């Protein structure tokens, strides 16, 4: 069903005119590319990381929205986790797919705000709402489209303060093996810079973002991340991309010449001045091409050429008949999310870590699969608790709070590193 929809969604477009028509082309309904080197395709059903780089107002949001649309057609969960201040992410509610596939929509809010629909919009959609501080992993299964925009928070500070822990939980607890999640981060640098004061906070946020980058693929998350400044995304993380979508570049990026390869294919003139629907497409396998991007316009349901994406200066809130109002009921402050975790899971975590740090009679370390057999806990959980949860906590905070509150023996040691260092000492 979803493949059928994905195919019908594909819209015939004339090939991009920018290059000679003899070169191989690619059109998946989102991207229309003419290759210069190593033709490739976007493998939507496989978890991937897409990095979109470009100057202000060059259509980075639209580019990642096009991918969101495609993921929805494959019935993946789409989570617009961080967007621009103009709330453009809400525009996806008028994507005809939302109605056609009866997507279950969740709009996230701050603790003292509610979403109010004051009139029925032209395009019908229904939604649930929830303060982001109450978002559970279960919601990831119960909804198809999760939206998190500035409008429903009292301040930018609240928006970032409440969103960062959610990103952290996504890679710590995320496990979407039977259903992929597409996570859109509209401006990665803002997550690093907004309302971050101390060195420790900066470090914490950086680690969260780096881990989202590094781990997303392994836990079935496809990440679409946009950034204005390439430099702001940490070195290790920014080279993790499968696809790089380059929009019009600012002077700093051009002078920095960080995309060496681009220079042998395109002129600086074009890179600086491309239209908002143009882009340069590169992959980690060395593919290079250029072309256009359009989120689908829904088989003519919307005006020709104009997609569901928000127009400049358009009030998307007004179009949808939505407004933010003060929450009527008082919300009790949420307990620390980590503390509200299930004590039974805490015990499981402790057991996994301790079983992993025991040696076999022959002096070799226990493998993860031995730990699985001995504890009777599944492979993905064992791997996640050791590598993602425990070691990440130790890296971020210097201590694993789960091991600390359950009296575990390795609360301040990264277990994987510890084992390899111990092995070095004995040889
Ligand atoms: Zn631990």
Same domain, residue pair 363 and 262: no
Phi, psi of 77 (to 5 degrees): -75, 135
Over the stretch 312-354, which tens digit does the pLDDT of each residue have? 788 889 888 999 999 887 776 654 444 345 677 788 889 999 9
Lowest mean pLDDT among 163-167, 225-229, 258-262, 271-275: 258-262
28 located within any domain: yes
3-state class (DSSP) for residue 29: coil
- String of DSSP letters for 101-168: TT--EEEEE-TTEEEEE-S--SS----EEEEGGG--TTHHHH-SEEE--GGGSS-HHHHHHHHHHHHH
Q: How confident is the model at residue 184 (pLDDT cuts 50, 70, 90)?
A: very high
Mark whether 145 and 80 lie in a shared domain: yes
Distance 344 CA to ligand 1 centre (A): 14
CA gap 386, 416 in Å, rounded:
8
Same domain, 60 and 90: yes
Q: What is the CATH number of the domain that holds 108?
A: 3.40.50
Contact status, residue 248 vs residue 203, Cβ threshold 8 Å: no
Q: How far apart are the CA of 407 and the centre of ligand 1, in A?
A: 10
Q: How far, in Å, from the CA of 401 to the mean position of ligand 1?
A: 7
- Give the Cα separation of 322 and 144 in Å (integer): 20
Cα–ligand 1 centroid distance for 368 (angstroms): 15
Q: How far is the CA of 116 from the centre of ligand 1 (A)?
A: 42
In a domain, 338, yes or no: no
For ligand 1, the distance from its centroid to the CA atom of residue 136, given in whole angstroms, is: 21
Is residue 45 domain-resident? yes
Q: 22-39 b/e with 16+ CB inside 10 Å = b?
A: eeebbbbbbbbbbbbeeb
Question: What count of residues does the chain have?
Answer: 427
Q: Please, are residues 338 and 404 in contact by the beta-carbon 8 Å criterion?
A: no
Residue 306 lies in a domain: yes
Both 272 and 379 in one domain: the answer is no
Question: Do 277 and 293 meet the contact criterion of CB atoms below 8 Å apart?
Answer: yes
In a domain, 117, yes or no: yes
Ligand 1 centre to CA of 387 (Å) is 10
| Whether residue 150 has pLDDT greater than 80 | yes
Total structural domains in the chain? Answer: 2
In which domain, by residue range, is 384 found? 343-426
Distance between CA atoms of 2 and 97, rounded to whole angstroms? 11
User: Is 336 part of any domain?
Assistant: no
pLDDT of residue 264: 78
- The yes-or-no verdict on residue 88 having pLDDT over 70 is yes
pLDDT given for residue 17 in this prediction = 62
Alpha carbon distance 233, 413 (integer Å): 27
Whether residue 90 contacts residue 149, with contact meaning beta carbons closer than 8 Å, is answered with yes
What was the pLDDT predicted at 220?
78
Same domain membership, residue 228 and residue 102: yes
Q: Are residues 114 and 38 in the same domain?
A: yes
CA of 258 to the centre of ligand 1 (A): 39
Consecutive H or E run containing 274: none
pLDDT for 77 equals: 92
CB-CB contact of 348 with 381 (8 Å): yes
Residue 107 contacts residue 65 (beta carbons within 8 Å): no
Cα(355) to ligand 1 centroid in Å equals 12
Distances (CA, A) of 130 to 82, 126, 127: 16, 14, 10
What average pLDDT score do residues 387-402 get? 78
Q: What is the pLDDT of residue 21?
A: 59
How many angstroms is it from 333 CA to the middle of ligand 1?
A: 26
End-to-end CA distance of the chain: 57
Q: How far is the CA of 211 from the centre of ligand 1 (A)?
A: 17
Report CA(413)–ligand 1 centroid distance (Å).
9
- Spatial contact of 310 and 86, defined as CB atoms under 8 Å apart: yes
Answer yes or no: do 397 and 261 share one domain: no
* Cα 372 to ligand 1 centroid, rounded to whole Å: 16
Cβ contact 19:36 at 8 Å: yes
Q: Are 377 and 396 in contact (CB under 8 A)?
A: no
Last residue of a domain, one of 326, 360, 388: 326
Is residue 107 scored above 90 in pLDDT?
yes
Q: What is the largest distance, in Å, between two alpha-carbon atoms of the chain?
A: 73
Report the pLDDT value the prediction gives residue 180, as an integer from 0 to 100.
Answer: 86
Joined tokens for residue 118? 């004051």
What pLDDT, on a 0 to 100 scale, did the predictor assign at position 232? Answer: 62
- Same domain (yes/no): 51, 171: yes
Whether the pLDDT of residue 202 is over 90: the answer is no
334 located within any domain: no
d(CA 93, CA 97): 9
Read off the tokens for 102: 């009866």
The Å distance, Cα 370 to ligand 1 centre, comes to 18
pLDDT over 90, % of the chain: 16
**What are the C-alpha distances in Å from 215 to residues 109, 178, 220, 420, 426?**
26, 17, 9, 21, 31
Q: Does residue 233 share a domain with residue 350?
A: no
The per-residue pLDDT for 305 is 46
Other CB atoms within 10 Å distance of the CB of residue 341: 16
Mean pLDDT of 195-200: 74
CA distance linking residue 113 with residue 147, whole number of Å:
15
Please write the tens of the pLDDT for every residue from 238-291.
567 889 898 887 766 655 545 566 777 888 788 888 887 889 998 888 898 988
Ligand 1 centroid from CA 179, angstroms: 27
Q: How far is the CA of 101 from the centre of ligand 1 (A)?
A: 41
Give the pLDDT of residue 303. Answer: 43
pTM tops 0.85, yes or no: no
Residues 389 and 320 occupy one common structural domain: no
CA of 163 to the centre of ligand 1 (A): 24
Asked whether the predicted pLDDT for residue 365 surpasses 80, the reply is yes
Span from the CA of 329 to the centroid of ligand 1 (angstroms): 37
Look at 234 and 265; give whichever has higher pLDDT. Answer: 265
Distance 360 CA to ligand 1 centre (A): 21
- Rounded to an integer, what distance in angstroms lies between the CA atom of residue 301 and that of residue 244? 30
Q: Are residues 234 and 377 in the same domain?
A: no
Q: Ligand 1 centre and the CA of 409: distance in Å?
A: 9
Average pLDDT, the chain: 79
């Amino acid at each position: 069903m979803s493949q059928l929809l994905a195919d019908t969604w594909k819209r015939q477009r004339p090939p991009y005119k920018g290059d000679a028509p003899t070169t191989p082309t690619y059109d998946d309904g989102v991207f229309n590319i003419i290759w210069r080197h190593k033709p490739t395709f976007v493998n939507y059903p496989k978890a991937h990381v897409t990095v979109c780089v470009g100057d202000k107002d060059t259509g980075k949001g639209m580019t990642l929205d096009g991918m969101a649309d495609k993921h929805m057609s494959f019935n993946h969960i789409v989570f617009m986790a961080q967007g621009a201040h103009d709330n453009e992410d809400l525009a996806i509610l008028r994507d005809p797919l939302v109605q056609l596939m009866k997507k279950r929509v969740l709009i996230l809010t701050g603790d003292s705000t509610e979403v109010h629909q004051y009139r029925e919009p032209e395009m019908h959609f229904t939604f649930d709402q929830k303060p982001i501080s109450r978002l559970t992993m279960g919601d990831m299964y119960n909804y198809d489209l999760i939206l998190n925009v500035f409008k429903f928070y009292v301040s930018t500070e609240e928006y970032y303060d409440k969103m960062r822990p959610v990103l952290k939980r996504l890679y710590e607890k995320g496990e979407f093996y039977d259903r992929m999640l597409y996570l859109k981060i509209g401006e990665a640098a803002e997550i690093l810079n907004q309302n971050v004061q101390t060195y420790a906070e900066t470090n914490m946020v950086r680690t969260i973002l780096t881990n989202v980058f590094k781990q997303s693929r392994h836990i079935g998350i496809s990440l679409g991340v946009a950034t204005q400044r390439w430099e702001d995304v940490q070195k290790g993380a920014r080279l993790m991309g499968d696809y790089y979508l380059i929009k019009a570049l600012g002077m700093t990026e051009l002078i920095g010449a960080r995309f060496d390869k681009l220079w042998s294919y395109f002129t600086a003139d074009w890179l600086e001045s491309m239209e908002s629907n143009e882009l340069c497409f590169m992959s980690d396998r060395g593919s290079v091409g250029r072309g256009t991007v359009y989120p689908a316009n829904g088989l003519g349901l919307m005006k020709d050429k104009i997609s569901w994406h928000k127009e400049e200066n358009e009030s998307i809130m007004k179009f949808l008949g939505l407004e933010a109002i003060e929450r009527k009921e008082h919300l009790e402050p949420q307990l620390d999310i980590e503390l509200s975790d299930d004590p039974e899971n805490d015990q499981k975590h402790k057991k996994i870590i301790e079983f992993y740090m025991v040696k076999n009679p022959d002096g070799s370390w226990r493998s993860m699969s031995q730990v699985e057999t001995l504890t009777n806990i599944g492979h993905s959980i064992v791997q996640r608790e050791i590598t993602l949860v425990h070691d990440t906590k130790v890296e971020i905070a210097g201590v694993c709070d789960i091991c600390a509150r359950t009296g575990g023996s390795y609360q301040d040691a990264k277990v994987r590193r510890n084992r390899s260092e111990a092995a070095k000492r004995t040889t």
